[in-house]
Amino acid sequence: MQNVRRPETMARITNIELANAFIDEQVAEIRKQVGDKKVLLALSGGVDSSVVAALLIKAIGKQLVCVHVNHGLMRKGESEQVINVFGKELDANLVYIDATDRFLDLLKGEADPEKKRKIIGGEFIKVFDEEASKLEGISFLAQGTIYPDILESKGVKAHHNVGGLPEDMQFELVEPVRLLYKDEVRVVGDALGLPHNMVYRQPFPGPGLGVRCLGAITRDRLHALREADAILREEFDNYGLAGKVWQYFISIPDMKSVGVRNDMRYEGWPAIIRAVNTSDAMTATIEEIPYELLHKITARITSEVEGINRVLYDLTPKPTGTIEWE
């Protein structure tokens, strides 16, 4: 990460005209910095790396090589969206690695949250490194560093950045959005024509569903989690809450309870809903989800998702609860 300061005279990018001016300026700057050399980017599909990818594609086209590592812990449809948007629509040079088995095999039996994070972060670097070493003639590494990352690099974020890349990579950095705040990155993403749900995506932890499939991850519980989470997002969308609530997701603990389904005893996991509002993620309040929506989500999850027999709503603000359960 380059340690730079945002000039006090720099106007906040709040509309498409300002975004377009920023894009033109960055395209010229990227071309000047990179020349005819190649740039590598770890593309997670999150807002920041997606906007950086779109900017670089506009500036240098196929000289950018995007690597998307699917660690098997993505939300439903997210890796597919990366392939569709970048591989197909934008015709980018995209290397897609499905490393699901590698990650899940390593995580097998590991219930300790910190160890799980370390395994996921460490393996991510390994997979990315392996792919990078297969590519020839790469001179630059692009990163979706944004201004709060620079401001907070010694704070909470450093501990969170388990998906970060090794410090010793021998590349010069390209960080075109490093002076922008998140809301500005989104305006730029809109101006670049990225899909709305990508630009306004909720924050998603680097270790992904790995910290929401609580305790030792199993493939069947992870599958149930992904399906239940997709239903929650769909119903929030239908109810008009998608853009209003800051972050919402499902976690599933490693425990079963007795239930009944089709007149038969049905032991299953509980799906725990979390829906919070915050401005900086340091503290958070609970969204008051209307009961009719909670009932609908409960009915859908318990009837559509194999393995789940109860739905719970976590009413704990931060503090005392962190936003994620692990």
Reply yes or no: is the peptide bond before residue 9 cis, omega within 30 of 0.
no
Asked if 281 touches ligand XMP (CB under 6 A), the answer is yes
| CB half-sphere exposure, 186, CA atoms < 13 A | 13
Asked if 210 touches ligand XMP (CB under 6 A), the answer is no
> Taking contact as CB under 6 A, which single stretch among the options 21-29, 48-56, 204-212, 263-271 is the one that binds ligand XMP?
204-212
- Strand pairing class (93-98; 64-70): parallel
Structure tokens at 211: 């910290």
Asked if 174 touches ligand XMP (CB under 6 A), the answer is no
How many CB atoms within 10 Å of residue 157? Answer: 15
Asked if 323 touches ligand XMP (CB under 6 A), the answer is yes
Instruction: Give the separation between CA 277 and CA 238, rounded to whole angstroms.
Output: 19
What b-and-e string marks burial along 262-300, b requiring 16 or more CB atoms within 10 Å of the CB? Answer: eeeebebbbbbbbbbeeeebeebebbebeeeeeeebbeb
- Among 59, 66, 162, 301, the residue binding ligand XMP under the rule CB under 6 A is 162
- Among 35, 122, 193, 203, the residue binding ligand XMP under the rule CB under 6 A is 203
Residue 75 Cβ, how far from ligand XMP at the closest point, in Å? 12
Binding mask 241-260 for ligand XMP (x = CB under 6 A): ------x-------------
Residue 144 Cβ, how far from ligand XMP at the closest point, in Å? 11
C-beta closer to ligand XMP: residue 206 or 268: 206
CB 118 within 8 A of CB 112: no
> Taking contact as CB under 6 A, which single stretch among the options 12-20, 183-191, 200-208, 217-225 is the one that binds ligand XMP?
200-208
How many CB atoms within 10 Å of residue 203? Answer: 12
- Among 176, 189, 206, 210, the residue binding ligand XMP under the rule CB under 6 A is 206
> Taking contact as CB under 6 A, which single stretch among the options 91-99, 201-209, 236-244, 266-274 is the one that binds ligand XMP?
201-209
> Taking contact as CB under 6 A, which single stretch among the options 12-20, 225-233, 265-273, 316-324 is the one that binds ligand XMP?
316-324
What b-and-e string marks burial along 81-110, b requiring 16 or more CB atoms within 10 Å of the CB? Answer: bbbebbbeebebbbbebebbebbbebbeeb
How many positions of this chain bind ligand XMP (CB under 6 A)?
12
- Among 58, 160, 223, 310, the residue binding ligand XMP under the rule CB under 6 A is 160
Instruction: Give the separation between CA 259 and CA 218, rounded to whole angstroms.
Output: 21
Residue 325 Cβ, how far from ligand XMP at the closest point, in Å? 8
C-beta closer to ligand XMP: residue 64 or 209: 209
Q: Compute and round to an integer the Cα radius of gyration of the chain.
A: 21
Interacting residues with ligand XMP (CB under 6 A): 160, 162, 203, 205-207, 247, 281, 318, 322-324
